Amino acid sequence: MSMMDMAGGALDLEALAHPQPLYKALRDVAPAVPVGENGEMFVVGGDEDVREVLHHPEIYSSGFDAVHIGQVRPLIPLQIDPPEHRAYRKLLDPIFAPKRVALLEDRTRALVRDLIGNVVDDGRCNFHHSIAEPLPSTVFLELLGLPVSRAQEFIALKDGIIRPPGVKSEEHRQQLVNETGRRIYEVLEEVVDQRKAEPKDDFISTFLSAEVDGHTLTREDVVDICYLFFLAGLDTVTASLDCFIAYLAQHSEQRQRLVDDPGCIPHAIEEMIRFESPVAGVIRITTQDTELKGCPIKKGTPVSVMLGSANTDEKAWEDADSIDFDRPDNKHIAFGGGVHRCLGSHLARMELRVAMEEWHRAVPEYSLADGIALRYSQGLRAVENLELVW
C-alpha cells in the first residue's frame, strides 16, 4: 500500500517528506477507510486500531496472500501465522537476541568508520549512497554468508523488488518483481547448496543445521528465510538512516545535542523512528468477515496497517507532532507489533546507534546542499538525493 494509493492520487514532495497531516486526515475519516475504485482494500491508521489488527493474526493474516514480492512460497517467518509461526521464531529469535547482536558491534563500527573515512575530507557526500546504503548491506551480506564483492548486484536486486525501475503499469510492475524474484532465488539457492557442501560461520550454515520441533529445516525453508532477510536487511536500516540524517541536517539544535551528548543517541533514535516511521505500513489480509469499530470488512480483504499514522496519533501521544529526544515511555510500533514484530529490531537498533555515533563524531556540523529538495520514496521512505555539505 503506497502513500499515493492512500491519498487517491500523486503526492508532491512535501507530502512524501511530511506525511503526518495525511495520516491525520486518514484517522479523521474512520477506523478503517476503504480505498480503490471498488473499496477493495481498507486502510487503518489509529494507534488503538493498528494494534488491534497486529495482535490478531487469526483474523488479520500475514500469510502468503497478503503481499506478493516475487516469492513463490510463504516467506519464513513473516508469512507463517500461529501456531506454526511459534516454532520458527523459537529457532530464529536467539540468533537475533541482544547478546548475539552485541558480538557484531565492533565489526559494524569498523565498517562505519571506513565508509566515513572515504568522504570526510571531501566536505560533501550523498549520504544515501556513501553511508546509508552500503552499511546495512555489507553487514547483512556478511551475516548471511553472501559475497560482499557482489553488494551492488544485490542492492539492485533488492530495488527491483521494492522499487522496480521503469514501471508502466501494475501488471508490468508485478512482472518485473517476479523476474527479480527468480534471480534472487537463483542466488540464494546457489549459496545454500555451497553451504550444505561446505558449512561456514554464517547464518545460512546455522539455518541448515538448526531444527524446528525436532525436524531440520529443508533446503526450501532456508531459502525462504533468506529471501525475507535479503529484502529486509538491505533496505530498512538504509531508509531509517536517510530519514534521521535528513531531519538532523535541517534541525541544527537537535543535531548539536547529539554531538554534545552522544549518550542521548539511543533515545533520539527511538523518537526519530517513531516520528519518521521509515516503514510506513504493512499489509494483512482478513481470514473471515469481521469489523473494526463498526466498520465491516469482508473475508479475503487486504488491510493496510499504517504504522506511521499510529506512531503520530494525537489520541495516543502527547505532542505527537513534536520530536522530543526526552520523550518518556516511548512505546512506538515502528518495528510492528504482535507475533510478527520485526525479528531484526535489535540488529537494526545497533546499526543505527553505531552509525549515528560515528557520523557525528567525524562530521559534527553538516547541512543540506544548496538547492536540494529532498525526494522521499513511497513505501519505505528512503532519500536517494540526500546531498550533504560540511
Residue 211's DSSP bridge partners are 216
Q: State whether the Cα torsion 8-13-17-21 is positive or negative.
A: negative
Q: What is the DSSP string of 287-354?
A: SS-EEETTEEE-TT-EEEEEHHHHTT-TTTSTTTTS--TT-SS----TT--GGGS-TTHHHHHHHHHH
C-alpha span between 168 and 170 (Å, rounded): 7
pLDDT for 163:
83
pLDDT for 162:
84
pLDDT for 170:
87
Fold of 3-389: Cytochrome p450 (1.10.630)
Query: What is the chain's length?
Result: 390
Rounded mean pLDDT for each run of 10 residues along the chain, 390 residues in total: 44 88 96 90 97 98 92 94 92 91 94 97 98 92 86 88 87 92 94 94 90 84 91 88 98 98 98 97 96 96 97 97 95 96 94 98 98 92 97
C-alpha span between 78 and 370 (Å, rounded): 42
C-alpha span between 182 and 240 (Å, rounded): 28
pLDDT for 165:
85
CB-CB neighbours of 61 under 10 Å: 20
Residue with cell 537463483: 186
DSSP state of 146: -
- Cα 25 to Cα 12, 105, 127, 166, 270, distances in angstroms: 16, 41, 32, 31, 25
60-91 pLDDT per residue, tens: 999 999 988 899 999 999 999 999 999 999 98
Closest alpha carbon to 237 in 100, 351, 114: 351
Contacts of 95 (CB under 8 A, 6+ apart): 203, 206
